Structure 1
Amino acid sequence: MAVYVDNAHIPARVGRVAGRWSHLTADTVEELHAFATSIGLRREWFQTCKSRCGPVGQPCVHWHYDVTETKRTEALAADAQPIDLRRWSEIIRARRAAHTQREETA
């Protein structure tokens, strides 16, 4: 199991916070929530798709927390693995494939 933080560095303003944002994710949702809590992220900041992100009936595979540069640095110090933004799409494809495989064997 692993936690990952990408290098998106997307400029945005969220409420009063303006900065560059990246994505924090993990191999499992449970692991992600535990890690996020350990670096001071609130559960309400957890992100999932607000609309369908894949075939009908499939759950969101894009779950993550958005993190500022400061939190990204904290995540890395707490042993999150740095990944390139392109690796993010590989993680999403793997999640979707795993869900499809579970559906086919059920």
Structure 2
Amino acid sequence: MPVYVDKAQHKLGRMVMCHMLADSMDELLTMADTIGVNRKWFQPQSHPHFDICKAYRAKAIAAGAIEVDRRQLVDVMKRYRTKWSGDLDERKKLNCAAAAAGKKEL
């Protein structure tokens, strides 16, 4: 199951940020660990993802992440929501990641 990075360019101070998401929490958290993204940056609210800067985006792509456009990103989000709604284990992993990041569980 792959990890995805979008082409968004949202400014946050001096940084330019994009989104990193995946088809499963295991894949998302493994990629975050692989490229050195702190798990406290996990964003569970709208859709489980990490906001990452351009440098981490380049690391993610080098580690195998797939670049997607906005439409493809929406498709990834729909697939994950379908999985999350029917997979209690995935929901538990999401809530554990949210709690570990100090965020509200879903």
Structure 2: stretches of 5+ with no match in the other structure: 88-106
Q: TM-score when scaled to structure 2?
A: 0.73
1:53-82 C-alpha deviation (Å, 9 max, x unpaired): 5xxxxxxxx101111011111111111111
Contact 2:10 2:18 in 1 (8 A): yes
Matches within 5 A, 1:1-106: 1-13=1-13, 18-49=14-45, 62-100=47-85, 102=86
CA distance in 2, matches of 1:98, 1:34: 18
Q: TM-score when scaled to structure 1?
A: 0.73
Q: State the percentage of identical aligned residues.
A: 33
Q: Provide the alpha-carbon RMSD of the alignment.
A: 1.6
Higher radius of gyration, 1 or 2: 1
**Relative to total residues, which structure has the larger helix share, 1 or 2?**
2
> May I ask how many residue pairs the two structures share in their alignment?
87
Poorly superposed stretches of 4+, deviation over 6 Å: none
